[in-house]
Amino acid sequence: MGTGKGYGKTILFGEHFVVYGLPAIASALTNSTLAAVKVVKGKGWVVDDQRSATPGYKTQKYDEAMQSIENVLRHLNIDMENQKLEIFFGGDLFAASGVGASAAQCTSLARALNETFNLNLNDEKINEAAYEGERAYHGTPSGIDNTASTYGGLIWFVKNTSGGKNTMDLLKSSKKIPLVIGNTGLTASTTEVVAGVKKLKEEHPNRFNTIFKEYEIIAKEAKTALLSGDIAKIGNLMNQNHELLKKITVSGKINDKIVGIALKNGAIGAKMTGTGRGGLVIALAENEELQEKIAKAIEKEGFDAWRTMIG
């Protein structure tokens, strides 16, 4: 038997823009999905998915999850004719849209297979296998989720849109910053939302050009602000990023509602994170006292809220 883990992530800047080769910044969460693989007699594979999840998440993502497991197994050339694999998923990462749950599942599986079959894969190869799994969720993932899930930490990521190697720099923030993650409770299809943005971009190329230019400045300034621990600036840039995400129509009513609650209760900045149209919202707090206040205010309105640290 072998085990492996994959971190969850939160995108601080640049979801959707990252698909088009613009830079994005993500932070891995300390929470992770744990996979275990047991080889038994028979053929094929079975899954026991014990992850805690937003109601409906696992059913809605079931087909994609099964395909992603198949993709990882095939990519790693695992023999499924002369043996049967019992695959277990658990861990303390709550499975919800926006937290990198699918990437964490793929990464943990690649690591567990690596250990089970002594494949000697380094992180780069684990990341490649996890990317193949991610492709089941939408044909053209940027690769940011599996990269954050594999390497952990705070990352600056640029997709190579010509198909070559992506850029990934580990950033060292000068301080840990409290973050609240609010859950809309809604599961979105990344495939549909990413396809919707593509269509809109094709219909309005000039408008998108302007938005992309504005976003690029935000991303570069955010990198500098994160490195120097300038919380006020990071928060302000998060607010700006959220406005651009609204313009490309990927935020949703409940996302905006949670952003509003967070800002009203002292958040320095707040935005949707990940796919959008549901999923999660992140809010930056100056200290743990304010973090608690923001989280409690979100919970009071009936949403789940988690407290974490980035940097």
CA angle 223, 27, 50 (to 5 degrees): 165
Instruction: Give residue 276's identity as a one-letter amino acid code.
Output: G
Beta bridge partners of residue 91, listed in sequence order: 33
- Report yes or no: 99 and 71 within 8 Å, Cβ to Cβ: no
Q: How far is the CB of 145 from ligand MEV (least distance, A)?
A: 5
Q: How far is the CB of 190 from ligand MEV (least distance, A)?
A: 6
- Report yes or no: 177 and 10 within 8 Å, Cβ to Cβ: no
Q: How far is the CB of 86 from ligand MEV (least distance, A)?
A: 29
Q: How far is the CB of 10 from ligand MEV (least distance, A)?
A: 9
- How are beta strands 84-91 and 44-49 bridged, if at all? parallel
Residue 64 vs 145, nearer CB to ligand MEV: 145
Place of tokens 């990940």: 274
Residue 270 vs 272, nearer CB to ligand MEV: 272
- Report the C-alpha gap between 287 and 308 in whole angstroms: 12
Q: Quick one: which of 10, 13, 15 has its CA closest to 310?
A: 10
- Report the C-alpha gap between 88 and 46 in whole angstroms: 9
Residue 141 vs 269, nearer CB to ligand MEV: 141
Binding mask 7-46 for ligand MEV (x = CB under 6 A): ----x---xx-xx---------------------------
Q: Would you call 21 exposed, middle or buried from its count of C-beta atoms within 10 A (0-12, 13-18, 19+)?
A: middle
- Buried residues in 261-275 as b, exposed as e (16+ CB within 10 A): bbbebbbbbbbbbbb
Q: How far is the CB of 169 from ligand MEV (least distance, A)?
A: 17
Q: How far is the CB of 212 from ligand MEV (least distance, A)?
A: 14
Q: How far is the CB of 184 from ligand MEV (least distance, A)?
A: 14
Residue 143 vs 269, nearer CB to ligand MEV: 143
Residue 18 vs 290, nearer CB to ligand MEV: 18
Residue 148 vs 259, nearer CB to ligand MEV: 148
Q: How far is the CB of 231 from ligand MEV (least distance, A)?
A: 24
Q: How far is CA 40 from CA 35, 44, 81, 84, 109, in A?
A: 16, 10, 12, 5, 17
- Binding to ligand MEV by residue 61, rule CB under 6 A? no
- Report the C-alpha gap between 137 and 264 in whole angstroms: 35
Query: Which residues, 169 to 208, sit near ligand MEV by CB under 6 A?
Result: 190, 194
Residue nearest to ligand MEV (CB): 142
* Number of residues near ligand MEV (by CB under 6 A): 13
Query: Which residues, 108 to 167, sit near ligand MEV by CB under 6 A?
Result: 141-142, 144-145
Q: Report the interhelical angle of 62-75 vs 101-116 (nearest 10°).
A: 30
Residues near ligand MEV (CB under 6 A) are: 11, 15-16, 18-19, 141-142, 144-145, 190, 194, 274-275
